[in-house]
Amino acid sequence: MIPVRGVDGAKVAVLGLGRSGLAAARALRAGGAEPICWDDNPATRDRAEAEGFTCTDLSRQGAFEDVASLIVSPGIPHLYPHPNPVVLAALEAGVPVDNDIGLFFRSFATSAWDNHDTPPRVVAVTGSNGKSTTSALIHHILTEAGRASQLAGNIGRGVLDLDPPEDGGVVVLELSSYQTDLARALTPDVAVFTNLSPDHLDRHAGLGGYFAAKRRLFAEGGPDRAVIGVDEPEGLFLADQMAEGPADDRVIRVSVSRKMTGPGWQVFSRKGFLSEYRKGRQVGSIDLRAVKGLPGAHNHQNACAAYAVARTLGLAPKVIEEALRSYPGLPHRSQVIAEADGVTYVNDSKATNVDSAAKALGAFPRIRWICGGLEKEGGLGPLLPATGSVAKAYVIGREAANFAMQLNVEAEICTTMARAVERAMAEAEAGDTVLLAPAAASFDQYDSFERRGEDFMAEIKARLAG
């Protein structure tokens, strides 16, 4: 646990008692604060009270008297599309609003570091797509290289549940826009921006607000090193803002769309080959085509970003290459779950928006595509140019018919996962990939994208076993 600093004797309100909220309450108590907790879910409140926390309805009149601050869980809106009533009450009372990420960054470094030969470091990864894989890949590379590493944030453990870092240890954080938008402290040693595509637009009042939330990790934090994907205008802009000039190697530019050989520090991938250039000269190269855990150009972008971070942390290219080859991949993200009779089965249930689904479609030559679900704002138009490898789509979800009408490939309305898997497997031929890449949220039929992916895997495995 990372006890929160600077709160001894203070009354601190905690709104939302899921994984991050309950961890924040524990860390606040460990730092000497008096946590006052609330969640709309009675079962969640019961769990908190079982740990000895006081639960008080923070929406009642006068709830913020003598409260020093409000800690808000990431899923709770604080501004758009409209503030949660409790957050609004705190704002009106002038009570500072923060989240667990802000608490972490202000509490992570302690006097115990005086005894370390090498100070611990924090790597923070944000972006629209690939941030989970990039974070997990950095953690994997460090672990394989014998470096002490912990993975947390939007993946793995809550940030305040982490162990105090070892000498030379590295904490790798995956941070969503919900987390970076509100944190009052953001001070990573290395910050990573993977890419940007439209997502969560209602929560940020448009694409500009969404980008601004992610940009805070760099603008507020002032990292020693910034690893930035520059295949979109926003990334180019961010890299330009962070650098003093073309040769400023505090910024490492990452691309999977072009070769970059300028005077600075670049890592890019073309035709499956990763290249590192510094001061106009190539200093490293890795063939990514044989890395099974990282199929497709979108995963090659993740590999480039993770490679750049590992180089910043002092690892040699050969050490990184060896670790990449042993990377198993993450569940529900380009996850190869089976191969039978020449057909490959891939679970990419995390492809919940059109951009991530388009990247998944670009990773395989001939696809039986299972798609559909709760459609996100903006429609499917940007996805259609990426469907050239699709032999047929099998559409699931409550609005499957409407979803199918927007596609430019042959589509069969299946509605359920069981029917979609049955039909895709029946029609798949040797060389095909049966791919779940929904391009939609899961909440019309499932509690989460994980549940959707698990259902897909269970259907595949049951049919192959039978």
Question: For 55-83, what is each residue's pLDDT tens digit?
Answer: 999 999 999 999 999 999 999 999 999 99
CATH number at residue 158: 3.40.1190.10
- Residue that terminates a domain, selected from 43, 67, 98: 98
CA-based nearest residue to 77, from 209, 219, 218: 209
Of all helices (H) and strands (E), which one includes residue 35?
strand 34-38
pLDDT at position 401? 96
Span 391-397, mean pLDDT?
98
Rg (CA), the chain: 23
| SS3 assignment, position 270 | strand
Grade residue 383 by pLDDT with cuts at 50, 70 and 90: very high
CATH number at residue 348: 3.90.190.20
pLDDT at residue 154 is higher than 90: no
Q: Residue length, the chain? A: 466
pLDDT at residue 133 is higher than 80: yes
- Residue that terminates a domain, selected from 277, 302, 325: 325
What is the number of structural domains in the chain? Answer: 3
The answer to the question of residue 5 being in a domain is no
**Locate tokens 């890449």: which residue?**
437
pLDDT at residue 466 is higher than 80: no
Grade residue 85 by pLDDT with cuts at 50, 70 and 90: very high
Query: What are φ and ψ of residue 142, in 5° steps?
Result: -65, -45
The answer to the question of residue 2 being in a domain is no
pLDDT at position 157? 86
User: Residue 437 and residue 334: Cα distance in Å, rounded?
Assistant: 9
The torsion of the CA quartet 269, 272, 274, 279, rounded to 10 degrees, works out to: -50
pLDDT at residue 221 is higher than 90: no
User: Residue 74 and residue 178: Cα distance in Å, rounded?
Assistant: 5
pLDDT at position 339? 94
pLDDT at residue 343 is higher than 80: yes
pLDDT at residue 39 is higher than 90: yes
pLDDT at position 297? 84
CA-based nearest residue to 184, from 97, 84, 126: 97
Question: Do 209 and 155 share a structural domain?
Answer: yes
Question: Do 171 and 45 share a structural domain?
Answer: no
Structure tokens belonging to residue 292: 């099974």
Q: Binding site residues, as ranges?
A: 127-133
CA-based nearest residue to 217, from 248, 201, 233, 193: 193
Question: Per-residue pLDDT tens for 249-277?
Answer: 999 999 999 999 889 999 999 999 999 99
pLDDT at residue 286 is higher than 80: yes
CA-based nearest residue to 121, from 188, 76, 201, 55: 188
pLDDT at position 355? 87
Question: Per-residue pLDDT tens for 192-213?
Answer: 999 998 888 889 999 999 999 9
Grade residue 378 by pLDDT with cuts at 50, 70 and 90: confident
**For residue 192, how far is the Cα from the chain centroid?**
11
pLDDT at residue 402 is higher than 80: yes
Question: Do 239 and 130 share a structural domain?
Answer: yes
Query: What are φ and ψ of residue 36, in 5° steps?
Result: -115, 110
Question: Do 381 and 460 share a structural domain?
Answer: yes
Residue type at 393? A
Question: Per-residue pLDDT tens for 448-460?
Answer: 999 999 999 999 9
CATH number at residue 37: 3.40.50.720
Question: Do 302 and 176 share a structural domain?
Answer: yes
Question: Do 341 and 292 share a structural domain?
Answer: no
The answer to the question of residue 373 being in a domain is yes
Q: Binding site residues for ATP, as ranges?
A: 127-133
Q: How far is CA 396 from CA 141, 242, 413, in A?
A: 37, 43, 7
pLDDT at position 328? 85
**For residue 158, how far is the Cα from the chain centroid?**
14
- Residue that terminates a domain, selected from 98, 117, 137: 98
The answer to the question of residue 208 being in a domain is yes
Neighbours of 443 (CB within 10 A): 13
Supply the pTM of this predicted model.
Answer: 0.85
Peptide bond into 3 cis (omega under 30): no
User: Residue 296 and residue 389: Cα distance in Å, rounded?
Assistant: 13
Quote the percentage of the chain above a pLDDT of 70.
100
The answer to the question of residue 6 being in a domain is no
Question: Do 317 and 437 share a structural domain?
Answer: no
User: Residue 107 and residue 91: Cα distance in Å, rounded?
Assistant: 24
pLDDT at residue 156 is higher than 80: no
The answer to the question of residue 16 being in a domain is yes
User: Residue 261 and residue 159: Cα distance in Å, rounded?
Assistant: 37
The answer to the question of residue 369 being in a domain is yes
Print the domain residue range for 443: 335-465
Query: What are φ and ψ of residue 266, in 5° steps?
Result: -130, 145
Question: Do 198 and 50 share a structural domain?
Answer: no
Question: Per-residue pLDDT tens for 103-126?
Answer: 999 999 988 898 899 999 999 999
Question: Do 285 and 363 share a structural domain?
Answer: no
The answer to the question of residue 3 being in a domain is no
User: Residue 102 and residue 72: Cα distance in Å, rounded?
Assistant: 11
Q: In whole numbers, what is the pLDDT of the chain averaged over residues?
A: 95
Question: Do 83 and 115 share a structural domain?
Answer: no
pLDDT at position 200? 83
Question: Do 407 and 262 share a structural domain?
Answer: no
Question: Do 139 and 282 share a structural domain?
Answer: yes
